[in-house]
Amino acid sequence: MHLVDILEHLFGEVVGVGELRRWELQRQWRASFAPQLESWAGPLRDHCWHALSYGLVSSRRGADATDVFEEHLRPGVVLLATEEPSLAPSYRVVSTRAITYGELSEKWVGDLYLISEDWSWSFVMTHEGAALGPYFVESDLGFAGEAG
């Protein structure tokens, strides 16, 4: 099943984000959630979540991450959803109800970044499953990017 199909099942509104916007999403994610990193070379180049798994960025992990995510995701929350900010289609979604991590992980296996519309937090699932992640990271920059 494709990501868009799963998002349409779980969320109310799903709108595609243009292809040129993907690189901007990656730049915004990195600036919002890992501004202290000066280099994104090596294993960080292709997967932003490696900054979390390597402990280069302060984040919540595992059950703690899912608890905080579920507290933040209530009806009306607008998110950006993508498999990887620079490499996959991205979507703007509107939560019509409280989605749980269990619902997401039951339907989707792979990398998934959910980013609040105001860029104050991001919830990241990895293709590694419970071995690495999920992660919840907050921004203290107040970086507000456009949703699409």
pLDDT for res 23? 78
- Cβ atoms of 78 and 147 closer than 8 Å: yes
pLDDT for res 145? 41
Which sequence spans correspond to the domains of the chain? Answer: 3-35+46-138
Q: What strand order describes the sheet that includes 13-17?
A: 13-17, 90-94, 78-82, 112-116, 121-125, 135-138, 60-61
| Distance linking the first and last C-alpha atoms of the chain | 24
Which pLDDT tens digit goes with each residue over 22-78? 778 888 899 999 999 989 888 887 788 899 999 999 999 999 999 999 999 888 888
Token pair of 79 as six digits: 């998110």
Which pLDDT tens digit goes with each residue over 92-137? 999 888 889 999 999 888 889 999 989 999 999 998 877 788 999 9
CA distances from 106 to 6, 102, 115, 118, 129 (A): 10, 6, 20, 27, 11
pLDDT for res 121? 95
Q: How confident is the model at residue 141 (pLDDT cuts 50, 70, 90)?
A: low
Residue the block writes with tokens 């990193």: 37
Rounded Cα gap, residues 141 and 35, in angstroms: 9
